[in-house]
Chain A
Amino acid sequence: MAASSDLEHLEGIDQYKYGFSDPDVSVFKTRKGLDEQVVREISQMKGEPEWMLEKRLEAYGHYVERPIPTWGPDLSSLNLDDIYYYVKPSEMESKSWDDVPESIKQTFDKLGIPEAEQKFLAGVGAQYESEMVYHSVLEHLEEQGVIFLSIEDGLRKHPDLFREYFGTIIPHTDNKFAALNSAVWSGGSFVYVPPGVKVELPLQAYFRLNVANIGQFERTLIIVDEGAQVHYVEGCTAPTYTTDSFHSGVIEIVVKKGARSRYTTIQNWSNNVYNLVTQRAMVHKNASHEWVDANIGSKVTMKYPSCYLMGEGARGEILSLAFAAEGQHQDTGGKVIHAAPNTTSKITSKSISKGSGRASYRGLLRVHENSVNSKSNVVCDALLLDERSRSDTYPYIEIDEDQVTVGHEASVSKVGEEQLFYLMSRGLSEEQAISMVVSGFIEPLVRELPMEYAVEMNRLIQLQMEGSIG
């Protein structure tokens, strides 16, 4: 039975997620806009080693030279000079609850989130009682040798490991926004799973101390050593309210020989946000990586999780969902590079567009020469909810090897009149009928989410659907 119907069994299951304490730190905020001095200040505030400052400066140099990409969504109203590039967490939290827009508060209420959690989600909460569950999870991980820290603590406590991998999966030269992130990054996670260790519970950013918000320029580095296993979950189905209009993250993942990893993101930014994220996994011999990526909200999202299949027998899978409501452009998809024999990949993309919303699938599949017996399958399905909504597909396929099997399917469907008549003839209102078709459409993705997220995801989609009937 679908997760949505088990809702009442799950009430309270996610109560443990938010256990936070917030140290008293002095207030610091760089001035608006970005130059070399701001980059230096950020590095200095964080007490970083010289090599990191140099990396930041180098990235900044590249950022300045690199033009804003014009091949995708319209970014012309993105004003990069009108942004604070570094705000210390204490400053972010000093916002008042009164400043949070009424619509966001109402959505929290509809999702049934207690007020204390609402304040945290809106970035105005600070003190949270740590709970036993959270402590025991962390202790258990520590016993296994798993490192799970903020990215800053990762650099401070494990400088050699950090330096070995940081920026190697996504170099700052990758794209303009990766360069920007590499110059000003702040917040995010550092994860190391030792060889052979299987982390049973999904690691959630919520478990980690001292991270009250997903950083505007979050940076996450995950290293899954040989034969290890981990599932990392980031994000939150509740709307991530932020006064910042720009989020540009970089997620780097190394999956070593025979290891398995999965990274699940659910992002629901408020509708003023440009969400431009680079996330990539380097997958080695007989290892596998899966991205499960759901994007709801934001003004513009550009996000193409990628798998670089570097070793023989490596496997990559990308499952992405985008919901483009009124005024939103979701430009999402996936990228897979086959660079070794017997590698397999699968991209499944689902998008829903509503009103003037526009969802684009943009994908790249590249098979290098000598990647014999590689297999790939790409499926993109788009669902349009009304006459105005729009969906586009930009699949790029580049294959330099003959002995490969590649499949590509794309479909665009509308919520059909006959489907609605059928469902309504059983007593469902038009709104319920549409949302049932939509929840069925996204079911293949929701099924892959941890239970409490699946439940929240379904509720969230119901909320997005409200007011669909003209």
Chain B
Amino acid sequence: MTEALEIRNLHVAIEDNEILKGVDLVVKQGEIHALMGPNGTGKSTLAKALLGHPDYEITAGEILFKGENIIEMDVDERARLGMFLAFQYPVAIPGVSVANFLRTAINAHRKAADPEDKGISIPDFRTLLKAKMDLLEMDHQFAGRYLNEGFSGGEKKRAEILQLATLEPAIAILDETDSGLDIDALRIVADGVNSLAGPDLGVLIITHYQRILNYIKPDFVHIMLDGRVAESGGPDLAEHLEEHGYNWLREKQSKATAG
């Protein structure tokens, strides 16, 4: 069965300041969506609100995932239900190796699915992790490093994609995964996402650059302006944006409001 993430009329405020003003968006498994827009229009707010960051207050609307309204769920419950967020700024956890962290996360998912589960065995885990690292062309040494501590920008993003590959969510949100990457790193990350894409994974790529879309081909493109999805379309919308910028859309919007 194809699962979906459905965002309906979502309003989100940070400290009483409304950032999202009625977002509507549906992302299904097997689809790749790109959400574009200038800085400060609420794209990252949407990403964090979807995962349930405590600072982001949902003032109206719904987030449905697998048919359930997840607004009241804690962050970890949403994650275990199959949502994943690749962070724009991944957080360092000193002293905790990538491997140790991933194993704990896998076991948390397994335990949620089956309370009797004893967790993944170490040999099985090693096999799994090596396979995923090979898929992403990562050095195996990486598994022993402390999570995000002293990682370069590119390493952080690759670590995010490794987590995505290992946790196998139904819906993955990539928040500005392309920012701060040189062209080689960008290609590796994009190749990683492409290799994971398939009927079981829905992807929402948040970006304000067109360039990642040269490597990952979205099925749908959405443009966010002032806290709303202002325009949706196919891949050609991104190209149009590249050529014409956002102004035509702003003008179109203000005309619509005036009319």
B91 touches A419 (CB 8 A): yes
Most-contacted residue by chain B among A5, A421, A427, A443 (CB, 10 A): A427
Q: Does B53 contact A (CB under 8 A)?
A: yes
Contact of B54 (CB < 8 Å), options: A417, A423, A437, A441: A417
Q: Which of A404-445 contact B (CB under 8 A)?
A: 416-419, 421-430, 432-433, 436-437, 439-444
For A422, the closest partner residue in chain B by CB is B91
Most-contacted residue by chain A among B74, B80, B87, B100 (CB, 10 A): B100
The proximity string for B residues 89-113 relative to A, scoring 1 for CB distances below 8 Å and 0 otherwise, is 0110111110111011100110010
A427 touches B103 (CB 8 A): no
For A350, the closest partner residue in chain B by CB is B95
A1 touches B75 (CB 8 A): no
| A36 contact set on B, CB distance < 8 A | none
Q: Does B234 contact A (CB under 8 A)?
A: no
A427 touches B51 (CB 8 A): no
B97 touches A2 (CB 8 A): yes
Assuming the contacts A5-B100, A428-B108, asked whether A443 and B76 have C-beta atoms less than 8 A apart, the reply is no
| A419 contact set on B, CB distance < 8 A | 91, 93
Q: Does B146 contact A (CB under 8 A)?
A: yes
B96 touches A427 (CB 8 A): no
B87 touches A432 (CB 8 A): no
The CA-CA distance from A135 to B186 in the complex, in Å, is: 61
B74 touches A430 (CB 8 A): yes
Q: Does A6 contact B (CB under 8 A)?
A: yes
Q: What 7 A-B pairs are tightest by C-beta distance, nearest first?
A: A440-B95, A443-B95, A440-B96, A424-B75, A422-B91, A427-B79, A427-B108
Give A residues with C-beta under 8 Å from B.
1-2, 4-6, 8-9, 416-419, 421-430, 432-433, 436-437, 439-444
The CA-CA distance from A2 to B122 in the complex, in Å, is: 12
Assuming the contacts A426-B79, A427-B108, asked whether A440 and B103 have C-beta atoms less than 8 A apart, the reply is no
Contact of A421 (CB < 8 Å), options: B75, B96, B122, B167: B75
With A5-B99, A426-B108, A427-B167 given, name 5 new contacts (CB 8 A).
A425-B79, A425-B85, A426-B105, A429-B76, A433-B76
The CA-CA distance from A6 to B104 in the complex, in Å, is: 12
B76 touches A424 (CB 8 A): yes
The CA-CA distance from A416 to B148 in the complex, in Å, is: 15
For A431, the closest partner residue in chain B by CB is B76
The CA-CA distance from A430 to B112 in the complex, in Å, is: 14
B53 touches A421 (CB 8 A): yes
Can you give 23 contacting A-B residue pairs, CB < 8 Å? A1-B144, A2-B100, A5-B103, A5-B122, A417-B55, A418-B91, A419-B93, A422-B90, A422-B93, A424-B74, A424-B79, A426-B108, A426-B163, A428-B76, A429-B108, A432-B104, A436-B93, A436-B101, A437-B93, A439-B96, A440-B95, A440-B146, A444-B95
CB of A455, distance to nearest CB on chain B (Å): 13
CB of A134, distance to nearest CB on chain B (Å): 29
For B105, the closest partner residue in chain A by CB is A426
Q: In which size bucket is the chain B interface?
A: 35 or more
B146 touches A9 (CB 8 A): no
CB of B16, distance to nearest CB on chain A (Å): 19
The CA-CA distance from A425 to B50 in the complex, in Å, is: 10
A426 touches B167 (CB 8 A): yes
Give B residues with C-beta under 8 Å from A.
48, 51, 53-55, 74-76, 78-80, 84-85, 87, 90-91, 93-97, 99-101, 103-105, 108-109, 112, 121-122, 143-144, 146, 163, 167
| B104 contact set on A, CB distance < 8 A | 428, 432, 436
The CA-CA distance from A69 to B48 in the complex, in Å, is: 53
CB of A444, distance to nearest CB on chain B (Å): 7
Assuming the contacts A9-B122, A443-B96, asked whether A427 and B105 have C-beta atoms less than 8 A apart, the reply is yes
A425 touches B95 (CB 8 A): no
| B51 contact set on A, CB distance < 8 A | 421, 425
For B53, the closest partner residue in chain A by CB is A421
For B96, the closest partner residue in chain A by CB is A440
| B78 contact set on A, CB distance < 8 A | 425
A427 touches B80 (CB 8 A): yes
B75 touches A441 (CB 8 A): no
CB of A437, distance to nearest CB on chain B (Å): 6
CB of B99, distance to nearest CB on chain A (Å): 5
B96 touches A2 (CB 8 A): yes
The CA-CA distance from A283 to B94 in the complex, in Å, is: 33
CB of B136, distance to nearest CB on chain A (Å): 17
The CA-CA distance from A437 to B122 in the complex, in Å, is: 21
| B48 contact set on A, CB distance < 8 A | 421
A432 touches B108 (CB 8 A): yes
For A417, the closest partner residue in chain B by CB is B54
The CA-CA distance from A440 to B91 in the complex, in Å, is: 13
The CA-CA distance from A441 to B80 in the complex, in Å, is: 26
| A444 contact set on B, CB distance < 8 A | 95
| B143 contact set on A, CB distance < 8 A | 1
| A8 contact set on B, CB distance < 8 A | 121-122
For A446, the closest partner residue in chain B by CB is B95
| A421 contact set on B, CB distance < 8 A | 48, 51, 53-54, 75, 91
For B126, the closest partner residue in chain A by CB is A1
The CA-CA distance from A444 to B95 in the complex, in Å, is: 7
CB of A219, distance to nearest CB on chain B (Å): 35
Assuming the contacts A8-B122, A417-B54, A422-B90, asked whether A439 and B95 have C-beta atoms less than 8 A apart, the reply is yes
| A418 contact set on B, CB distance < 8 A | 91
B108 touches A441 (CB 8 A): no
CB of B133, distance to nearest CB on chain A (Å): 14
A1 touches B100 (CB 8 A): yes
CB of A320, distance to nearest CB on chain B (Å): 16
| B74 contact set on A, CB distance < 8 A | 424, 430
For B100, the closest partner residue in chain A by CB is A2
The CA-CA distance from A443 to B105 in the complex, in Å, is: 19
CB of A227, distance to nearest CB on chain B (Å): 35
CB of A108, distance to nearest CB on chain B (Å): 22
B87 touches A422 (CB 8 A): yes
For B148, the closest partner residue in chain A by CB is A422
For B121, the closest partner residue in chain A by CB is A8
